[in-house]
Amino acid sequence: MEYNKIIFISLLAISVTKCDNCVTNDFGLNFYDSFTNGNPVCAGMATWSLGNYSVAGIESPHQETDLFITPDEDLSCISSYDFEMTAGGILEIYVYMDSKSQRDQIVALANEVSSTGKTIVTGTEILTPLNPDYFNGWHVLRLHLISNGIFSGYVSFLGVAAKESTVIIDSFRYIPPQYDNDCNVYDGEFVTSSPPVRPEPPESCVAYNFETDFETLFTSDSGVCAGFSKWDLYNYITVPVNHPSEESFQFIAPQSSISCISSFSFNAEAGGVVEVNVYMDSKTNTDQIAVLANKVADDNTDVVIGSTVLTPLNDNYADGWHVLRVTLSGNGKFNVFISFLGLGSAKSIVLVDSFRYISPTFSKEECQIYEDEKFETTTTVPITTVAPVGTGEECVTYNFEQDFENAFDTNNLLCSGYSTWHIGDYHSLSIDRIDPNSNTFIAPNDTSSCVSSFVFRMMPGGVVKVNTFMKSVSKLDYVIVLAKKRVPSGEDTVAGFTLYYASNANFVEGWNVLQVTVNDFTTFDGYITLLGSTSEDSIVLIDSFSYTPPNSDDTCEIY
Ligand SMILES: *[C@@H]1O[C@H](CO)[C@@H](O)[C@H](O)[C@H]1NC(C)=O
Ligand SMILES: *[C@@H]1O[C@H](CO)[C@@H](O)[C@H](O)[C@H]1NC(C)=O
């Protein structure tokens, strides 16, 4: 009995849909006969006209069609013949717009003609470049028909096309509700343009405290962390450290060997600041936490755009809580993620409690990690900006004309034990300059001297050229150029070098270009280290240097 009832009901449903038809129109036949500009909706307006894709030089969306309709520069209107529609049905209009003016628009109206002859709008859709999601290309305007039951009606199109713009209706279709058969204008589905990918707006504040979702939000499988062991999540109960907030129960800590972990990515902008709340109670000098802010570049490679390191070797280091700050360098908006590279010996406590990103225009007070937060820094940690210059694929040049103190590590942190080079002026020497625009150079002290450059990105096969002048009276005069690779939590390695000694058989007095080819397996962030020595009456100086990317035709002019 029950079974029969179901069959009866479904038969009824089929018979209802049967009398309601799919309607399609591609303007291919009898446009001027079946469409009108003379009905009440369109009264007083200009009309739409028929266009031909091949004549207009526009690619047709389907081989079966070469006709479309387009509005005038003034508000234009056209209405279709009457056909039967049902409430709940869908009217789809296939349109193309390449807009050069904000006046451009297409308005589609589904009209019901009521039993008393009045026109009632039962659905409407508008395409205009003023829409915030607008993009040029193919669109489907989809009208869901309201009203009641089955009714007779027609569709009207209103539109404006500025002179330079392209505004087209290719076709439309009416699909009745619960319609099971194909209802296509052409064979196969209609293809629409996809909206261009828009960058997400940058965040104002991103705060994370390791209390939830650590496993899903953090990874050490890719980017800078690939190949390193991971940081682990711990509870404050396991360490004799007062948690920084009543809401803080968990932290992450590195292994006793170098380990690395990267955060989820988020949208940020240049000038924004990343603050990391860390605790260090150090028993050995190898303990360290490096914070790297990585920009996800368009080709999905990562570029370090800011970094800082906390180690017991920092000036004024003290055990306790520290806030490590990294300012994001570069320009504009981009996607970033934060990596922590570090190690903590078994007896030391090295941990990261939380971090936040604050955009350049946002206030720190409004970007809280905990409601009761109070991170008291034990000491101010000097901010070491070691963001690399360049991508490795472009020239890097430097000529010692300015900013030597900042561009070069004149405190010799990377050359400890050596004295530094000093700036000299060609006026004090009777030698020909390498370039008329060159006024200054660097020269070693009479002892062995060492100095390291700013960090820049190098690629395997890249060439570092150092312009050197040597007039030697002593066999001890020399210049050594090292291309070094930064190993954030280890010993930096040498990726290429050249030695130039006055005692060498190839020695030529005067100007020389010392060349170092970079040998490594991957692109890396590095710097050059210049070692030199000069006796009292000799002249040993370096005027400038350049880095030329591999296989480059660029001459990397310095002046
Ligand atoms: C469209 O233009 C092409 C090229 O002029 C022509 O061959 C074709 O017949 C036109 N189509 C219609 C329907 O007029
Ligand atoms: C050589 O190095 C020492 C120590 O860095 C410095 O005080 C001195 O001024 C340097 N000499 C010259 C000639 O720059």
Neighbours of 235 (CB within 10 A): 10
Q: What is d(CA 521, CA 532) in angstroms, rounded to the nearest whole number? A: 28
Among the bound ligands, the one closest to the CA of 423: 2
Which pLDDT belongs to residue 352?
A: 97
Q: What percent of the chain stands above pLDDT 70?
A: 88
The β-bridge partners of 142 are 92
Looking at ligand 2, which residue's alpha carbon is closest to its atom 8? 445
State which of 419, 429, 450 you would mutate to test the pocket of ligand 2, scoring each by most atoms of that ligand within 8 A of its C-beta: 419
Q: What is d(CA 187, CA 224) in angstroms, rounded to the nearest whole number? A: 50
Phi, psi of 187 (to 5 degrees): -60, 130
Taking the centre of ligand 1 as the mean of its atom positions, its distance from the CA of residue 98, in whole angstroms, is: 22
Q: How confident is the model at residue 16 (pLDDT cuts 50, 70, 90)?
A: very low
Among the bound ligands, the one closest to the CA of 533: 2
Which pLDDT belongs to residue 417?
A: 60
Among the bound ligands, the one closest to the CA of 55: 1
Q: What is the pLDDT of residues 443-491, one digit of tens each?
A: 987 666 889 999 999 998 899 999 999 998 776 688 888 888 887 766 7
Residues having CB closer than 6 A to ligand 2 are 419-420, 422, 445
Looking at ligand 2, which residue's alpha carbon is closest to its atom 7? 419
Which pLDDT belongs to residue 6?
A: 39
Answer yes or no: pTM beyond 0.85: no
Q: What is d(CA 246, CA 424) in angstroms, rounded to the nearest whole number? A: 58
Which pLDDT belongs to residue 381?
A: 37
Ligand 1 atom at shortest distance from the alpha carbon of 28: 13
Q: What is the pLDDT of residues 497-531, one digit of tens each?
A: 777 777 666 678 899 999 998 887 788 889 998 98
Taking the centre of ligand 1 as the mean of its atom positions, its distance from the CA of residue 54, in whole angstroms, is: 7
> Which of 76, 105, 106, 100 is closest to 163 using CA atoms?
100
Q: What is the pLDDT of residues 351-381, one digit of tens each?
A: 999 999 999 988 888 898 998 876 655 443 3
Q: What is the pLDDT of residues 90-132, one digit of tens each?
A: 999 999 999 998 889 998 989 888 888 777 888 888 898 887 7
Q: What is d(CA 127, CA 130) in angstroms, rounded to the nearest whole number? A: 8
Better pLDDT: 469 or 5: 469
Domains of the chain: 2-175 (2.60.120.200), 205-366 (2.60.120.200), 396-548 (2.60.120.200)
- Residue pair 296/334 in contact by the 8 Å Cβ criterion: yes
Q: How confident is the model at residue 224 (pLDDT cuts 50, 70, 90)?
A: confident
Taking the centre of ligand 2 as the mean of its atom positions, its distance from the CA of residue 419, in whole angstroms, is: 7
Half-sphere exposure of 438 (CA within 13 A, CB side): 24
Q: Which residues contact 194 (CB under 8 A, 6 or more apart)?
A: 137
Which pLDDT belongs to residue 199?
A: 55
3-class SS letters over 258-321: CEEEEEEEEEEECCCEEEEEEEEECCCCCCEEEEEEEEECCCCCEEEEEEEEECCCCCCCCCEE
Taking the centre of ligand 2 as the mean of its atom positions, its distance from the CA of residue 265, in whole angstroms, is: 46
Mean pLDDT, the chain, as a whole number? 84
Taking the centre of ligand 2 as the mean of its atom positions, its distance from the CA of residue 422, in whole angstroms, is: 7
Which pLDDT belongs to residue 504?
A: 63
Among the bound ligands, the one closest to the CA of 415: 2
Residues having CB closer than 6 A to ligand 1 are 52, 54-55, 66-67
> Which of 143, 150, 148 is closest to 127 using CA atoms?
143
Q: Which helix (H) or strand (E) holds 137?
A: strand 137-144
Which pLDDT belongs to residue 4?
A: 41
Taking the centre of ligand 2 as the mean of its atom positions, its distance from the CA of residue 445, in whole angstroms, is: 6
Q: What is the pLDDT of residues 400-442, one digit of tens each?
A: 998 898 888 877 676 766 778 999 999 988 899 999 999 999 9
Which pLDDT belongs to residue 292?
A: 85
Q: What is d(CA 525, CA 502) in angstroms, rounded to the nearest whole number? A: 31
